[in-house]
């Protein structure tokens, strides 16, 4: 009888130890997963912050009109991060406060094979901004991937700043405040 009871006790002890081991292992896996996830999130925050600082540095106050980073990669709809922002810097070199008009002109768009496609990139920005003398103001230009965009599609927008309102159809503009800035959005 004694050996039979010892066998049952041994198998019960083994089962309890296995359950405890599985639970401890599961907690360990969850702990490592959480650490890696937080490290990735922290890395993304640091990279975004670094990207913002680099954009400010690249668009210094010596240029009348500039865009920090001229190319951005975004995901297609409905993925998260299917939008991004460009920073347009406008330096007022006049001796008085002046309104500047922001004209965004849709350029060509291409698919991954280089074939031209309709430029239906969604974008939004201020129509004009008033800038004090000898100061630089930054204006965001928001862009979002259009529905139906595919990986590898490239959209081009031309940004022109003028000192007075203009009609987009009246090319070339004689009242251009600085060179036309070209921004590209690539779907990844």
What are the structure tokens assigned to 150, written together?
């595919």
Indicate whether 185 pLDDT > 90: yes
Q: Which has more confidence, 50 or 91?
A: 91
Spatial distance between the Cα atoms of 72 and 83, rounded to a whole number of angstroms: 9
Decide which of 186 and 164 is more confident: 186
**pTM of the predicted model as reported, rounded to 2 decimal places:** 0.70
The pLDDT value recorded for residue 112 is: 93
pLDDT at 8: 63
Q: Identify the pLDDT of residue 90.
A: 92
Structural domain boundaries in the chain: 1-58, 62-187
| Range from 30-39, 45-54, 98-107, 176-185 carrying the lowest mean pLDDT | 45-54
Q: Looking at residues 46-66, what average pLDDT do you find?
A: 73
Q: How many CA atoms lie within 13 A of 139 on its CB side?
A: 24
Q: Please state the three-class secondary structure of 68-136 as a single string.
A: CCCEEEECCCCCCCCEEEEEEEEECCCCCCEEEEEEEEEEEEECCCCCEECCCCEEECCCEEEECCCCE
Q: What topology does CATH give the domain 62-187?
A: Immunoglobulin-like (2.60.40)
3-class secondary-structure state, position 38: helix
pLDDT tens digits, one per residue of 119-161: 989 999 989 999 999 888 889 999 998 888 899 999 999 999 9
pLDDT at res. 58: 66
Q: Which one is predicted more confidently, 116 or 75? A: 116
């Amino acid at each position: 009888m004694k050996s039979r009871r010892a066998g049952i006790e041994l198998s019960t002890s083994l089962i309890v130890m296995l359950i405890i081991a599985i639970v401890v292992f599961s907690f360990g896996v969850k702990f490592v997963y959480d650490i890696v996830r937080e490290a990735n999130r922290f890395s993304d925050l640091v990279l975004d912050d670094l990207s913002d600082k680099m954009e400010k540095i690249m668009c210094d106050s010596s240029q009348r009109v500039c865009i920090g980073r001229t190319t951005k990669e975004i995901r297609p709809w409905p993925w998260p991060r299917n939008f991004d922002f460009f920073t347009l810097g406008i330096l007022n070199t006049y001796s008085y406060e002046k309104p500047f008009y922001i004209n965004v002109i849709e350029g060509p768009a291409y698919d991954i094979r280089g074939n031209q496609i309709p430029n239906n990139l969604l974008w939004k920005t201020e129509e004009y901004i008033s800038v004090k003398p000898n100061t630089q103001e930054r204006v965001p230009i928001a862009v979002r991937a259009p529905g139906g965009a595919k990986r590898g599609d490239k959209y081009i927008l031309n940004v022109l700043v003028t000192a007075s309102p203009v009609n987009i159809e009246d090319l070339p503009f004689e009242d251009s405040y600085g060179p036309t800035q070209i921004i590209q959005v690539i779907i990844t």
